[in-house]
Structure formats: structure tokens, C-alpha cells
Amino acid sequence: MKLVSLFSLLTVSLCFGAEMSVTYEDNGVECEGFVATPENAKDAPAVLVVHQWMGLTDYEKNRCRQLADLGYVAFAVDIYGKGVRPANKGEAGKQAGKYKGDRELYRSRLNAGLAEALKIEEVDADRVTAIGYCFGGTGVLELARSGADVDGVVSFHGGLGSPTPEDAANIKGRVLVLHGAVDPMVSAEELAGFESEMTDNKVDWELIKYGDAVHAFSQSMAGNDPSKGVAYNKKADDRSWQRMKNFLENVNSK
């Protein structure tokens, strides 16, 4: 891996082994990801982390640290490209819309991140999963639909629709969707379409709904007013994280 700068030097923690920023490319576009590794890691399972619509932030980095503390090499990908970090919701909407509107571009950027994660010395390339939040929840499903060789993906309050549902036939691993039962960002039609897509293509899938949870329920920066359709829900956050842990342990025990 290539360090971004001298200021991206290895950082040691009592909870996990090390962390650093890394640069990589996708079709000439420079991206800046982030990796956290467990202490004394060797042949460790890897978890790709796909960011929400504001880009790769401290939120994803902290999730990587949590995963490293659990024994995973966690690599947060950069979909937007180095230095492209939305300053507000308007900019975030434009960036997210760019990739949601061009699924091939989105998949290319996702797979470039996966390829970079597999270069990490401590990673066991035969045990790789991915998790994502909101925009990134959509992303991990697109990664799976692209036919990427991952053992499983976990979508936290992500968009579920696909312009090409037949691509679910390409999915090689398991799929877990953690969904707010009253998330206004996902319509009943989109939810039903996703279920049909998974079932029709014989995917090994699960969908769990959390009562009273709206969009972005796992993100404290979403605020605490569910009437806005976006809000943090600690109960759903805690339960979904535990469900993810169980899923990863099961998938990686093969």
C-alpha cells in the first residue's frame, strides 16, 4: 500500500493494531481509502466498508476501528475520489446521484476498492465481506450484483432498488439487509421488488426490519427527530451491529 503523505504514518492503538490512509486508482481517478488492522494480524478476514453520501468521513474510520478490534482488517473505500468530500447535503446529493445513476461507474469504483483491500498483506483473500451505510448500503448490494468474489454483504439502511434486477444472478455470497421499518426513503414497492429480485435469483438473503427506525438509524450525526425521516436510533444501531457481527462470524467460519 502507498501512504498518502508523511502525515498518514502508522498509528498504534491499544484496541487494534494499526491504521493508515492509502491511495489507489480506478481508471485514472485517484482515491483515498482508509485501513485499520488488528494487532498482530495474519491471514485475517477482511471487511470492506462503503461510506454514506457525505463521503469517507470519521464515521467510517471509526467503524473500521471497531471492526479491527473484532479481528478484521477493515478497508474503507473512497467512491467519490481523493479530495471530493461534500460540504453539505446538496453536494452530497449530487455526488451520490452521479453513482446511483451510473451503476457501472459505481461498480467499477467499488471493485477498485475491493482490489486494493486484497493487496493488504494481512488479509486472507478467501474471507472477504463488505458492509455499507445508506449510499454505501446500496453500494454493497451493487458490489454483490457485479459478481464480485465476496462471501457476504451487509446493507445498513441502504437503497434496495436495481435498474437491472436480473444481475442478482451474479451474487456469489450471502446478503443481509438491516432496514428501518419506517424508512421513508425506501418505498413499499422498492422493498417488494428487492425481495422478488433476491428470491427469483435464488440468492441466500435475509432482511431484518427494526421497529420505529427511520433512515440512517445507525448514524448519530443524523439527529434525533424521526419526523424528518432521518434520525439516529440507538436500539436499532446496537441490535443491527450485533446482527452484523453474528453474520460476519458465521460467514467467516467456513
What are the φ/ψ torsions at residue 238 (nearest 5 degrees)? Answer: -65, -45
Q: What is the pLDDT of residues 181-237, one digit of tens each?
A: 999 999 999 999 999 999 999 999 999 999 999 999 999 999 999 999 999 999 999
pLDDT of residue 41: 83
Q: What percent of the chain has pLDDT over 90?
A: 91
Cα separation, 34 vs 78, in Å, equals 8
Q: What is the dihedral of CA 226, 137, 12, 120, to 10 degrees?
A: 180
Q: What is the pLDDT of residues 159-194, one digit of tens each?
A: 999 999 999 999 999 999 999 999 999 999 999 999
Within 8 A by CB and 6+ apart from 159, the residues are 100, 134, 135, 137, 138, 185, 186, 190
The vertex-48 CA angle with 43 and 53, nearest 5°, equals: 165
Q: What is the pLDDT of residues 83-122, one digit of tens each?
A: 999 999 999 999 999 999 999 999 999 999 999 999 999 9
CB 219 within 8 A of CB 225: no
CATH number at residue 225: 3.40.50.1820
The mean predicted confidence, pLDDT, of the chain is: 93
- Domain containing 145 equals 2-251
pTM of the model as a whole: 0.93
For residue 206, the surrounding DSSP H or E stretch is strand 205-210
Number of domains in the chain: 1
DSSP state of 38: -
